[in-house]
Every structure is written in structure tokens, then in C-alpha cells.
Structure 1
Amino acid sequence: MCGRFTLTVDPSELQDAFSDFTFPDQFSPRFNIAPTQPVLAIPNDAKNKADFFLWGLIPSWAKDPSIANKLINARGETISEKPSFRGGFKYKRCLIIADGFYEWKAQPGVKTKTPYFIHMKDRKPFAFAGLWDEWHSPDGGSVRTCTIITTEPNELMSTLHNRMPVILNQKDYADWLDAAPRTPDSLLHLIKSFPADKMSAYPVSTMVNAPGNDRAELVVPVQ
């Protein structure tokens, strides 16, 4: 799964990396983004504009918004079949912007898992494949939410966990963000593990375990 990630670059650096899109002029660096919190995402609404969505999908048909806690990730293998995701896969896809993420590795004989920080070797920001939706509450309010798609791990990630988030290649952004309805067969080839040789990982402090901790020390390597 993917349960925490980071977005620490400044808006100008992000704009350089995603030149086809527009971003908010200002936002704070985040070193420990957790479920139910705002994440920066680009929906396939033909505007090519990033905005903040809450992490944890609330399908438009949901009666109880607490379902978001169970829908922070969507398994790529069943995304076209599950009622919570199949509509979004066809109609509402998004890029979720990050520059790193965390995973916890279990060690034989050790009760506490070791957190690892995973990033691109070139340290550039990247995009998770996601789905989004807009939910309208009974009182007339609305909220836009999203979920991160996961898949089988690559060689690097398999040493840490049995899942990894789907990271899209830049050349596939336009295809993923097509505003037109898409069939599963036309998109499933994008649901795959990212090349391990472009990624790196190292252990970090267990401070990341607490969602309230959100500072630069979280991504400092530890022995």
C-alpha cells in the first residue's frame, strides 16, 4: 500500500518539472502527508490545473463519508471491477504529485517495523496514478477526494513491501488525464511498477510513524 508521502519542493521547481500544468502560487512543504489530509492533484477535467483534494476516496454515491478511511489506495489488479473504483477508472483519473514516499519494512525478530524513504534517484518530483471524485453532503456542501493506485512491487520495493504505488511516466500523463471516458483495456497497460533502477531508498527515523510529525528531519537517513 501507500500510506504516507512527501511533497517538499517549492512551486517554481514543481512548475519546471510539470511544465504542461499550472499549480498554486504558494504551498507549504510537506514531509509526512497522511490519509484524510489535503494532497496536490491534477484531475482529468481538461483544465490541466492542480488543486488540493482530500486523500481517501468518497465515491459520489456514498452515503457515509467515513468510507474515505478505507479507500486511500486502489488495487490496480481489480480497479476496473470494484464498485468503488470502476467508475473513476473510466471517467475520473488524476495525477497525485509527490517527491517521495514511505514504506515500513518488517525485520525478523524485531517488533517495530523500520520506515524507509523512497525517492527518485534524480530527486525530482513525480506523479502517482490516482482516481478522484466529488461528493455532495446532505447539507449542500461538497468535497473532492482521491485515492492512489497500487500494484506489484519492483525489485527495490519488493525488499520492503509486497505493494507499491503506481508511478506514471511523464509521457503517459496526457493519456491518463484524457477527459473522455476510457475502457479498461485502453488504460491497464499503465498500471505497472516503476523501473527500480530509477529509484532509491534508505531507512529513516520512526518519528514518521506519528502523522503529527511533519518536518525535514523525517527524511534524514539513519543507521
Structure 2
Amino acid sequence: MCGRFALTSSSADLRNFLSGVDLDDFPARYNIAPTQPILVVTAGEGRERGSNLADRRAVLVRWGFTPAWVKDPKEFPLLINARAETAIGKASFRAAMRHRRVLIPASGFYEWHRPPKESGGKPQAYWIRPRNGGIVAFAGLMETWSSADGSEVDTGAILTTSANAGISAIHDRMPVVIKPEDFSRWLDCRTQEPREVADLTQPVQDDFFEAVPVSDKVNKVANMGPDLQEPVVIERPLKSPEKQRQDNGQLSFF
């Protein structure tokens, strides 16, 4: 699952990462939450002949996917994530998987480890970022919902997949990461069927991310400063399931 993320890189770095996508300057965002606007990148409509830049464009959409066939969004659940393994077969996401795949740039995401109730432990928040720094692109889906009066709202969701070994001690799901060399394939909805890009939705390599324990201030949408990402000391650091088996001979998060 991905319920919060951040985008704190400069506009210049984003343009470079996204191969020259045109976008305005914007402030760093440390706590992006569902229903808020998020930046997504789509395939463009063609550049002028001779351009050496990728054919892509950046738009803002509401984080919370609404299928075009929904009559009243207020009566429809908020879809912030879509499971990559099943999205192609789900009525809500089928059309977007075929026609409106997008990239969602981020500096990282937040996830919570929630211990079993019987343990008495409290949820612990983690700031999960690329180990080598920089920007990451999540796989996403986009849909434009039209109301009866003709007004339109662009909406989006983040695709998730099973967690890799580096994240599985925290949560069993994580965002799908699209590498720069695969941007064009993922965005190409004209010639690439969903089944032809399914290989891109596998979990990223185990050491791609690092998880930093942070305070529970990220739980409140009103908290939006860089202090959200400051590390905190926790009494019992998580171990990977594999490491825990070696230590205790059994599977446990503690």
C-alpha cells in the first residue's frame, strides 16, 4: 500500500529526470495525502520534428481514482492504489491500464509497520527513499471523470505490488517502480498492451530503498515540513523475515 508520499526535488532535477518535461516551478511537498493534487507524467501528443526530448507532458490530478462510469463519486470508494497483479481484470482499472498509464514522480513514500494487536506495540512510521537518493517514478493510472453538468476531474492511482525483501518487514505491499530506461515502454499505450508491460510491475530490487524510522507527525495532513523525515530512534528495529528466521528459527517482525 502507499498512503502518503513526498516530492521534494527541484523542478530542474525533475525536468532532467523526466527527459525535459515542461513543468512550472513548485514548492517541496513533504506530506502528500489522498485527495490532494499530485503530479503525473503522461505520453505527449508529439513534438516538433528534430526535437531530441522525450514526448511527455506533466499534469496535476486528484489522488483518488474515479472510473469514468461512476455516477456519483461520493458514493464510490476512494481508490488511491491499484494492485498491479489484478488491475487489468478489474472493471475500475481495465480501461486505464490499456489507455492511460502514467508515471508519478516522488522522492519517496511513507509506510507504517503495524504490529499484531496482541503484541501491544504501536504502529511505527517509516520514510522509505531510494538508497542512492534522487527521484523515483511510481507506476500510475489516470482517468478523467465527467459529471452530468459537463465538468471534468482528472484522477489517479498508484500501482502497487508485493513487497520485496527490503520492505516486507514493514508492509506486504509497495509501489511499483518504473526505471528511467522503461519510461517510454510504460507510457506507450498505443503499441504496448498491458500484458506486454506486465514485467515492469515486478518488485524493484531488494536494496533499492532504505527505510528510515520517523515520528508519527506524518499521520496529520496539517504537518508539512521537512522535519517529518527526521530519523527517530526506536527500541526494537525491524529485521527482515529472513534475518529473523536465522535469529529465532521462526518468522516474526520483532
Range class of TM-score, shorter chain: over 0.9
1:94 aligns with 2:93: no
What TM-score does the superposition give when structure 1 sets the normalisation length?
A: 0.94
Matches within 5 A, 1:28-107: 28-46=27-45, 48-66=56-74, 69-107=77-115
CA-to-aligned-CA distance 1:111-141 (integer Å, 9 cap, x gap): 4300000001121111100000111112221
CA-to-aligned-CA distance 1:62-87 (integer Å, 9 cap, x gap): 11223665311001111110000111
Q: Indicate the structure (1 or 2) with the bigger Cα radius of gyration.
A: 2
Q: Matches of 2:93 and 2:60 in 1, distance apart?
A: 20
Q: What letter is aligned with 1:133?
A: E
Could you tell me how far 1:182 is from its partner in structure 2? Answer: 3.8
Indicate which of 202, 217, 220 corresponds to 2:227: 217
Greater length-normalized contact order (CA 8 Å, ≥ 6 residues apart): 1
Structure 1 residues 79 and 181: CA distance shift in structure 2, 3 A: farther
Q: Matches of 1:210 and 1:3 in 2, distance apart?
A: 12
Q: What letter is aligned with 1:78?
A: T
1:163 equivalent in structure 2: 173
Structure 1 residues 98 and 67: CA distance shift in structure 2, 3 A: farther
Q: Matches of 2:207 and 2:76 in 1, distance apart?
A: 33
Q: Matches of 2:63 and 2:219 in 1, distance apart?
A: 18
Percent identical: 40
How many residues of Structure 1 are paired with residues of Structure 2 in the alignment?
222
Q: What letter is aligned with 2:39?
A: L
Structure 1 residues 4 and 16: CA distance shift in structure 2, 3 A: same
1:145 aligns with 2:155: yes
Q: What letter is aligned with 2:223?
A: N
Unaligned runs of 5+ in 1: none
Root-mean-square deviation (CA), in Å? 1.6
1:130 equivalent in structure 2: 140
2:216 equivalent in structure 1: 206
Could you tell me how far 1:20 is from its partner in structure 2? Answer: 4.0
Indicate which of 114, 119, 128 corresponds to 1:118: 128
Q: Tell me the secondary structure at the aligned position of residue 129 of structure 1.
A: strand
Q: Tell me the secondary structure at the aligned position of residue 80 of structure 1.
A: helix
Q: Tell me the secondary structure at the aligned position of residue 138 of structure 2.
A: strand
Q: Matches of 2:82 and 2:189 in 1, distance apart?
A: 20
